[in-house]
Each structure stands twice: as C-alpha cells, then as structure tokens.
Chains A and B, each alone.
Chain A
Amino acid sequence: MFAYDSVILARMLTSMTLVFHIIFATIGVGVPLLISVAEYIGIRKRDPHYVLLARRWTRGFVIIVAVGVVTGTAIGLQLFLLWPTFMQIAGHVISLPLFMETFAFFFEAIFLGAYIYTWDRFKGRYTHWYLSLPVIIGGGMSAVFITSVNAFMNTPQGFTLVGRTITSVEPLKAIWNPATPSKVFHVLTSSYMTCGAVLAAITAFFILKYGNNKYYKKALKVTMIVTLIFSIFTAIAGDTSAKFLASYQPEKLAAAEWHFETEKGADLILFGKLTEDNEVKGAIHLPKLLSFLSFGDFNSEVIGLDRVDADLIPPLWIHYMFDLMVTLGAYSIMISMLFVLFMFWKKRDQYNKWLLRAIVINAPFAMLALEFGWIYAEVGRQPWIMRGYLRVAEGAVSSPYVHIAFAMFLILYVLLGTFVTVVLVRLYKKNPIQKEWEQRFPDTLFGGDQK
C-alpha cells in the first residue's frame, strides 16, 4: 500500500513538473528563432520597426526563460529524487546526453546574457544579430539531447543488463536509439510552431483591441508564416513518429488508435468513445488508412493489442489525447494557411475579425496540443519507465514523504505561474508599444505612417 502510494505520488509530481515546465521550455527553445527572424528582416530591409518587435519580444522572453531555468533544474533533480532506481541504470547508460544538455544550455545562457544587454553596442550592422544564432542553436541542442533521453526510455539500447548490473555500454548507440530521430524532429518543429502561434495570437489580440496598423501587420505576417511552415513540418514529424511507432513500439500506436486486432488494411479510427467492453462507438472509420500511415502501404499488416500481453497494454484513454493533439495541430495548419492564402488573394482580408479571433485561440490550442502530445507519449509508454527493462513501479522512490514534496512544488508552481503572469502583463502595460514608439520614432505615428 505504502509503496503503491509513493509510486502514484511520484508520478503525479513528475507529471505536474513536466506539464508546467513544458510551457516554459517550449518558449525557451522556439521564441529565439522568431526574435532572430524579426531582427534579421529589420536589418536586411533597414526597417527599424522589425528590430523594435524583436526587442519587445526579448523583454518578455527573458522572464519566461528565467522561470524555465528553475523548472528545468527542478525536473533535472526530481528525476534523481523520485526515480532513483531508474536513474541508477540511466546514469550508467544515458548520462552522456544529460551532461551535454547542460553544456548546450550553458552556451545558450551565455549568449542570451550577451544578446539582451548589447542592442546598441556594436558598429557592424549584423554583429548583434549574430549573437542570436548561438541562442537558437543552444536551445535547439538542449532540446535534442534531452529528447534523446526520453527516446531512450521508449527504445532503450546500447547496453547489456545482467540482473541489476550493467556489464557493457555504448553511449552513442544509446543516444541514437530508434526513437530519437522522429522524436527530436517532432519536438523541435512543434516548439517553433507553438511559439509562432503564441506571438501571432498576442499580435492579433492587440489588433482586435487597438485597431490595425503597419507595425502589427508586419508582426502578424512574420509570425503566421513561421506558424504555417512549422505546423506543416510538425504534421510531417507526426507522420514520421507514427511510422516509427508501428515498427518499434506497436503497442503505443495500437492503444492510441484502438486497434485491437492485428490485421492487414487496418482502418484509422478518429474520435469516438470506448464502452466498458472495449467497443468503439460513434467513431469515424477511415478504411485502410492506419496501414497507410504506419507503413505507407494500404494493405500492410498493423500489429494490434491482441499481440500484446494484457499487463503491458497502455491505458486506452490515450486515444483521446492523440485525437486532441492531431485536431488542434490540424487547426493550426488550417488557420495559418487561410491567413497566408488571404495575403495573396486580394479579394479577402486576412485581418478580418473572425480570422483574428481564430488566431488568438490558436495559441492556447497549440500549447494544449503540446501538453496532450506529451501526455500521450508518456502514458503510452506505461507500464514501463524503460521499455522492456524497468517498470514505473520498480523505478520509483520509496519514501513516506512524497506528498510533502508534492505540496511544496504545487505551491511553488502556483506562485510562479501567478507572478510570472502578473509581472509580464505589468511589464508591457507600463511600457506600452505606443509610448515606446513615440520615444524611438517621434516623426511618425504609431505604426509608421507620416504625421
């Protein structure tokens, strides 16, 4: 009973930290790209309005990164505190990318510090912009390394285990396990997509509130194009992931797709509800599509849950997570595509109120898609913490105090979440764009029109 409780609590605490951290981590990885793009366009076109955009994004970004640093430190150490047995094995086999992730983050932090304090310090036009590149690379690389650790949990390899002793390791093989390529691809593209969506939503919100002008138009154009590009890449990455799952982790795909019987030409099941006798109701069946998505062939055989041991089947509710993730991702593609289409199709106005509202909603949707995607990825690995080797229940700490730690972190996250919101809102309210515009460009009206 006691061991069981500490397992559940350890899972709850880890989930809570991850759900909170992912928001900040994603922004930490993705937003530098948008800042850098805006600054680059500004320098290239000699248009200081884009540079102002980059500056204003950076100010909020720094605060979010600071929270990301501390939640990242938290999850890093919590892995040891809550999953000591897992980390003992993982320490032997997969500590290399953990170590390298720290270097990558270090690199990012150093150059971010340099970037935010040196806006007007250099003579060369591009010098300051160059500083943004190591920030993007550092953030991207830390995502690559940490994702490889998560990938390892799904398809562990590169070691020999005898009892509880590891007798040989190949560190690079452990990093480059079968799950790594598709997972890294998916994580990076979805980060850039989400950050594009968030910054686009903020712009659209201001257009709805204060009316449109050239400055907002520039901001929305950049962010929506980035959103479109990376929404499409995210979908491609999702497809790559499905193909990976079909070959290497079929039970995760089968559970998410409610694919019970192994068969050729398997249908794809969308939405629907599962009855108590595992009967699918009210779902849309797309004939043979699951086979196609799994192997690129409509008649290929897809392994169903009948081939999986009963106690190794992941919870079937991950189907809802999967559907939500895909639906919200599709929404992002649709909205950004519409916007870009309207940009070229002069008859339609890409700044019409309904589209702007749809863009505002896209930000929480994209963030939720990310959360649902991670819940799917993590719960879909159950009951394993290290697939095939170690179950979650065996990896957890056995301590009577996990609930105290849980309460401490809950309070911390509520506190940080509240304060970060208040501080961000106040930051932009106190120095609104209209005011900053007047100081920087006193000759023009806000937006860029001549007075």
Chain B
Amino acid sequence: MSYEILGLSALWFFLFAYLIIASIDFGAGFFAYYAKQTKKDHILNRLIARYLSPVWEITNVFFIFFYYGLAGFFPDAGYYYGSAMLIPGSIILVLIGIRGSFYAFENYGSRSSLLYTFLYGASGLLIPAAIATGLTISEGGFLREANGSVYLRYTELLTNPFSWAVVFLAIVSVLYISANFLTYYASKAGDEPAKKLLRSYALFWAAPQIIASLTAFIAISRQNPEHYNNMLNLWWMFGLSVLFFLIAVYLIYKEKRFGLSFICVMLQFFFALLGYGIAHMPYILYDQIQVAADATLPAMGTALLLAFGGGLLMLIPSLILVMRMFLFDAEYVKGKK
C-alpha cells in the first residue's frame, strides 16, 4: 500500500476515534446540564463526572491529531481549508475554549455552578455542528478561488439544505452515541436509576438518529451526485451500518448486554463512515484536492507514518494503563476509589 493511502487511513482512524470519543464527551456534558436543569442531577452527575474527569483532555488531542495529520499528509488540503475556514474555525476554537475551561472550572474549582454546566453542555452540542462544516465543504461547491486565494461562500453554505442536514446529523449522533455509552457505563457501575434514565435517552435518540442519517445520505445526491453514486455502489456497507443500528436498539430495548449494544453502535458508525470515506475517493476536497496527486513528498509521508507508528507504540500501553485505572476498573466505576 502506498504511503498516502496509509496516511489517509491513519487520518480516517483519527476521525472515527474522535467521532466516538468526542460524542461521548459532548453528549455527557449536555446530559449533565439537562439533568441539572430538570433536577435529576442527583441520579446522573456523579456517574458522568467519574467518567469524564480523566478523559476530556484526551478527546481534544484527537482533534488536533486530525488537523495536523491532514496538513502533514496533504499540505494543500491544509491550505484550502485554512484559507476558507477562518470564521467557522474560529467559532470551533472559541467553543472548544469555553467548553474545556468551564469544564475544568466546574470540576476542579471549588464550587459547582449552573452557568458553568450550561456553558460546557451547550458548547458541546455546537462544536460538532461547527466541525461538521468541514465535511460539508469537502463535497465541493462551497469554495471560490480568486486573486490567488480561496474564499468560503458563506451564503451558499448557510442556505444549503445539505449543510443543515449534516449539522442535524452531527448533533443527533452525539446524543445517541453518548446515551448508549453512558447506559453501558451505568450498568457496569451497577447504578440502576442512572441506567434507567440513560437507557430512556438512548431509545429516545435512536429514531431521530437514523432519520438524520438517511436525510443526509439523500441530501448528498443533490450536492454531489458522483459521491452519491459511489456510495450506492457500496450499498452493503451502509446496509451493515443499519443492521448494527437495529441490533443496538434491540439490545437496549430488551435491556440486555449493554456492552455488546455499544459495540454495535460503534460498528454502525464504523461502516457508515468507512462507506462515506471510500466513496469520497479519490478526492479529499471535491474537485480540488486528490489523495494521490496532492499528497506530501514520500520522505515526509514516510517520516509521518514512522512517527505515527512510534507514537502509537508509546501511547497504546499508556492508554490501556489509564483505562484499567479508571474506565474499566470496576471499583473505580462504582465510586469506591
């Protein structure tokens, strides 16, 4: 396999990892706020805090990995996105700034405040909506080149039904993924009331999630017919995605095997994102940036891949260590440590 395909696969992996981890994190923030607002925080917040505290910084890093990786493997993509995304990018950064800081203020500071919880809960839903703009733009038709520079067509972006379908999909998916994971986490912690509440959230968001997915799928056909046809050729991947969705919902509904149910949720997104990604080839940014033609030089590509491999060798053992200490240490999860 060539280095640019390996690089692209690494980027895809970061995107997928970020999609799952960040969704859990963003959704948890929103549920924490919602529970507080509806006076159910005594049920949820202890559980959410125990999960979130050790991992939130890790989430952010996946996002940075993705954009440094993109700019490293495909510098021209970095140029196009960088030039065009000034305002959406700044909005993302401001939201991340608010969310990260107010999360820390709430949890490491000395007092809890509804305002802090609101700020990190609400920003958590807006961040994925803003980041999704990047995927929207990749379908082509939203950039304009003039005077040797690249501009974003704001009106086009804001009035296009496709971009709103993507925003809707992003927000709904966050809530759906998060509710599913937290249900599993609560059942592991043996926290019956939290599990019950979260399970109802997971079921509630299941239908909107699949509707949003289908809407976005169909909306691509108008925005980018070529991409859409490629996706139709990969129909079995999206079929698998829907199948895993059904299994996940069934398991949650029947209240059994929440762990397996969450694995199905991950597989649902795995196949959907994989099918989307493969159909997107050979373009990274439609019409302008291609995988093979616009990749970085082999020397840098190889160096990045080596760094990536070396980094993983170092990180995976450390991650396992932390996970065993917190996420999957039954005593810690139950709040006994």
B276 within 8 A of A: no
Given contacts A91-B296, A99-B308, A111-B318, contact A74 B93 (CB under 8 A): yes
Contact of A92 among B57, B110, B296 (CB under 8 A): B296
Interface status of B97 (Cβ within 8 A of chain A): yes
CB of A66, distance to nearest CB on chain B (Å): 3
Contact assessment for A69 and B100 in the assembled complex, using a CB-CB cutoff below 8 Å: yes
A22 part of interface (Cβ distance < 8 Å): no
B28, chain A: closest CB distance, angstroms:
16
Cα A401 to Cα B83 in complex, Å, equals 11
Cβ–Cβ contact A102 & B110, under 8 A? no
Task: Give chain A nearest CB distance to B3 CB in angstroms.
Answer: 13
Cα distance A70–B100 in the bound complex, in angstroms = 6
The distance from the CB of B301 to the nearest CB of chain A, in whole angstroms, is: 10
Residues of B within 8 A of A70 (CB): 60, 93, 96-97, 99-101
CB under 8 Å from chain A, chain B span 87-120: 87, 89-94, 96-105, 108-111
Contacts of A109 in B (CB 8 A): 57-58, 61
For A170, list chain B residues within 8 Å (CB): 299
A63 contacts the other chain (CB 8 A) = yes
B residues near A169, Cβ cutoff 8 Å: 296-297, 299-300
Instruction: Tell me if B93 and A73 are in contact (CB < 8 A).
Output: yes
Contact of B81 with A80 in the complex, beta carbons under 8 Å: yes
Contact yes or no, A106 B58, CB < 8 A: yes
Contact B322 A114 (CB under 8 A): yes
The segment out of B71-79, B187-195, B265-273 that lies at the interface is B71-79
B124-161 to A contact mask, C-beta < 8 Å, 1/0: 00000000000000000000000101110000000000
Q: A99 touching B69 by the CB < 8 A rule?
A: yes
A399 is an interface residue with CB less than 8 A from chain B: yes
A65 to B103, CA, bound (A): 12
Count of chain B residues near A, Cβ 8 A: 69
State whether A73 touches B60 (Cβ < 8 A). Answer: yes
A388 on the B face (CB < 8 A): no
Q: Is B13 an interface residue (CB 8 A)?
A: no
Interface of B is mostly: helix
Known: A80-B81, A91-B296, A96-B300. A423 touches B100 (CB 8 A): no
| B57 & A66 in contact (Cβ 8 Å cutoff) | yes
Residues 49-89 of chain B: 1 if any A CB is under 8 Å from the residue's CB, otherwise 0? Answer: 00001110110110111011101101110111111011101
Question: Contacting A397 at CB < 8 Å: which of B69, B82, B103, B311?
Answer: B82
Instruction: Give the contacting residue for B94; candidates A87, A408, A429; CB below 8 A.
Output: A408
Scan residues 347-363 of chain A and give those whose CB is less than 8 A from a CB of chain B: none
Residue B315 CB within 8 A of the other chain = yes
Structural contact, B101 and A66, CB atoms closer than 8 A: yes
Alpha-carbon distance between A79 and B307 when the two chains are bound, in angstroms: 22
Complex partner residue of B337 from A62, A73, A82, A121, CB under 8 angstroms: A121
**CB pair B68 A102 closer than 8 Å:** yes
Contact B110 A427 (CB under 8 A): yes
A279 to chain B, nearest CB (A): 42
Q: Contacts A69-B100, A416-B101 given; indicate if A88 touches B307 (C-beta within 8 A).
A: no
A334 to B151, CA, bound (A): 54
Interface string of A211-232 (1 = CB under 8 A from B): 0000000000000000000000
Q: Determine whether B218 belongs to the interface, using a CB cutoff of 8 Å to chain A.
A: no
Tell me the chain A residues, 96-110 only, with Cβ under 8 Å from chain B: 96, 98-100, 102-103, 105-107, 109-110
A84: chain B residues at CB < 8 Å are 78-80, 82-83, 150
- Kindly supply a per-residue 1/0 record for chain A positions 122-162, scoring 1 wherever the CB is within 8 Å of any chain B CB and 0 otherwise: 00000000000010000000000000000000000000000
Contacts of B92 in A (CB 8 A): 77
B297 proximity list for chain A (CB < 8 A): 92, 166-169
Q: Does A299 contact B (CB under 8 A)?
A: no
What is the 8 Å Cβ interface bit string for chain A, positions 224-245, against chain B (1 contact, 0 not)? 0000000000000000000000
Contacting pair A63 B64 (CB below 8 A): no
Taken together as a complex, chains A and B put the C-alpha atoms of A70 and B103 apart, in Å, by 11
Which B residues are CB-close (under 8 A) to A420? 101, 105
Residues of B283-322 contacting chain A, CB below 8 A: 296-297, 299-300, 303-304, 307-308, 311, 314-315, 318-319, 321-322
Say whether, besides A66-B100, A70-B100, A106-B315, A98 and B68 are in contact (CB < 8 Å): yes
Interface residues of A (CB under 8 A from B): 59, 62-63, 65-67, 69-71, 73-74, 76-85, 87-93, 95-96, 98-100, 102-103, 105-107, 109-114, 117-118, 121, 134, 166-172, 397-399, 401-402, 404-405, 408-409, 412, 415-416, 419-420, 423, 426-427, 429-431
- A-B contacts, 19 listed (Cβ < 8 Å): A63-B104, A66-B103, A73-B97, A76-B68, A82-B86, A84-B78, A87-B78, A87-B79, A91-B74, A95-B300, A100-B311, A106-B58, A110-B315, A114-B321, A121-B337, A169-B296, A169-B299, A398-B149, A404-B90
**List of 8 A-B pairs having minimum Cβ-Cβ separation, nearest first:** A91-B75, A66-B104, A95-B72, A80-B82, A84-B82, A103-B311, A88-B79, A430-B110
